[in-house]
Amino acid sequence: GPLKPEITITYIAVSAIFFNSGLSLKTEELTSALMHVKLHLFVQSFTLVFFPTAIWLFLQLLSITPINEWLLKGLQTVGCMPPPVSSAVILTKAVGGNEAAAIFNSAFGSFLGIVITPLLLLLFLGSSSSVPFTSIFSQLFMTVVVPLIIGQIVRRYIKDWLERKKPPFGTISSCVLLMIIYTTFCDTFANPSIDLDKFSLIIVVFIIFSVQMSFMFLTFLFSTRNNSGFTPADTVAIVFCSTHKSLTLGIPMLKIVFAGYEHLSLISVPLLIYHPAQILLGSLLVPTIKSWMVSRQKAQKLTRQPKAPVKV
């Protein structure tokens, strides 16, 4: 079509998103959270090891059902995705949790995802034979890593101007991402051979909400154990960062790993559903999680206060 998405989306739009991220990301905020190693290990191992493995085991059961097999494969790609740079941080901040830890894990998870997500996708799903393994990483490096690094370098020189003017980075990224989603939907529904039945779609939406709720509850249980060593504010960051998945990195990565794949459109659908679902569900839970965190923090303060000596 006239938009030439094979060039404008695959290269220019994706590079623009990560250049924008590099320009807006405050390096000092990330370094301040660097030392909380236990929290980082928990989040990254849950997101990139436990999540995709649990989904794979669950899909072995669902494979005997009449649900569209390519939508099920799409659910597996959701499991392989890294955490997002935006939604987990925004929700953690809204609750009043450990925002620095959320920023670090979202950014660090995205960096890990550049290497680990393609490996997971190839491990669980395989790839189209037309795309060499080296091509995947070289394209990811050129469209994700290089723009991110350039953005960070440019930020050093125009930092004062950025602080003064506060450009709308979020709006810019959202507009570019909207263009990527639009072309993905075009690919999905312009395909005459697409077989997207309503039953499969409704079931997949239900599964996505169920998976999110279950994993949020699971991470909450693990991080609030007596010997966990995490504060209530840490738990908030863990719950959101461990269960959220990146659409910004995910859709471009799927387009690279499964370039020329006949069923790429259907594989992309669960991720397109998961992203707005995680924001909606997270937003609804913000007041509940906030009241829990505040009450837990008050209880901890009371237990730490020394008891007054009893007068005889």
CA distance 17 to 13: 6
Whether 309 is in a domain gets the answer no
31 pLDDT higher than 70: no
Q: What per-residue confidence (pLDDT) applies to 130?
A: 46
Region of residue 126 (left: phi > 0; alpha: psi -120 to 50; beta: else): left
Q: What is the pLDDT of residue 310?
A: 54
Buried-exposed string 184-201: b where 16+ CB fall within 10 A, e elsewhere: beebbeeeeeeeeeeebb
Q: What is the DSSP letter of 47?
A: I
The enclosing domain of 154 has a CATH number of: 1.20.1530.20
275: pLDDT confidence band, cut at 50, 70 and 90? Answer: confident
Most confident of 156-170, 207-221, 240-254: 207-221
pLDDT of res. 201: 85
- The number of residues making up the chain comes to 312
CA–CA dist 206, 214 (Å, integer): 12
Tell me which of 24 and 298 has the higher pLDDT: 298
In a domain, 88, yes or no: yes
Please tell me the distance from the alpha carbon of residue 165 to that of residue 155, in angstroms, as a whole number. Answer: 13
Query: How much is the pLDDT for 45?
Result: 92
Query: Taking 70 as the threshold, does the pLDDT of residue 188 lie above it?
Result: no
Model pLDDT, residue 58: 92
Please check the confidence at residue 203 and state whether its pLDDT lies above 80. Answer: yes
312 in any annotated domain: no
CA distance 44 to 219: 12
Whether 305 is in a domain gets the answer: no
- The residues, ordered by sequence, that sit 6+ positions from 298 with a Cβ below 8 Å of its Cβ are none
**Domain residue limits at 22:** 5-296
Beta-carbon contacts of 163 under 8 Å, excluding residues fewer than 6 positions away, are none
Phi-psi region of 26 (alpha: psi -120 to 50; beta: other; left: phi over 0): beta
Give dist(CA 264, CA 266) in Å, integer: 6
Domain annotation covers residue 40: yes
Q: With cut-offs at 50, 70 and 90, classify the pLDDT of residue 131.
A: very low
Alpha carbons 290 and 81: distance in angstroms, whole number: 27
Q: Which two tokens stand for residue 234?
A: 């840490």
Average pLDDT over residues 122-144: 66
The answer to whether 51 and 216 are in contact (CB under 8 A) is no
> Average pLDDT for residues 198-205, to the nearest whole number?
86
Range scoring the smallest mean pLDDT among 100-104, 178-182, 200-204, 240-244: 178-182
Give residue-wise pLDDT tens across range 85-98. Answer: 667 877 888 888 88
When divided into structural domains, the chain yields a total of 1
304 falls within a domain? no
Mean pLDDT of the chain: 79
Name, of 27-36, 212-221, 263-272, 280-289, the range with top average pLDDT.
212-221
Q: pTM for this one?
A: 0.73
Q: Minimal CA–CA distance to 118: which of 262, 288, 249, 275?
A: 249
Task: Tell whether 303 is covered by a domain.
Answer: no
Average pLDDT over residues 121-135: 64
pLDDT reading at 157 higher than 50: yes
DSSP state of 263: T
Q: CA-to-CA distance for 174 and 191, rounded, in angstroms?
A: 26
Per-residue pLDDT, averaged over 136-151, amounts to 76
Q: Is 264 left (phi over 0), alpha (psi -120 to 50) or beta?
A: alpha
Please check whether residue 310 lies inside any domain of the structure: no
Query: 189 or 65, which is more confident?
Result: 65
Q: CA dist 218 to 50, 101, 197, 214, 260, Å? A: 11, 19, 32, 6, 37
Task: Give SS3 for 196.
Answer: coil
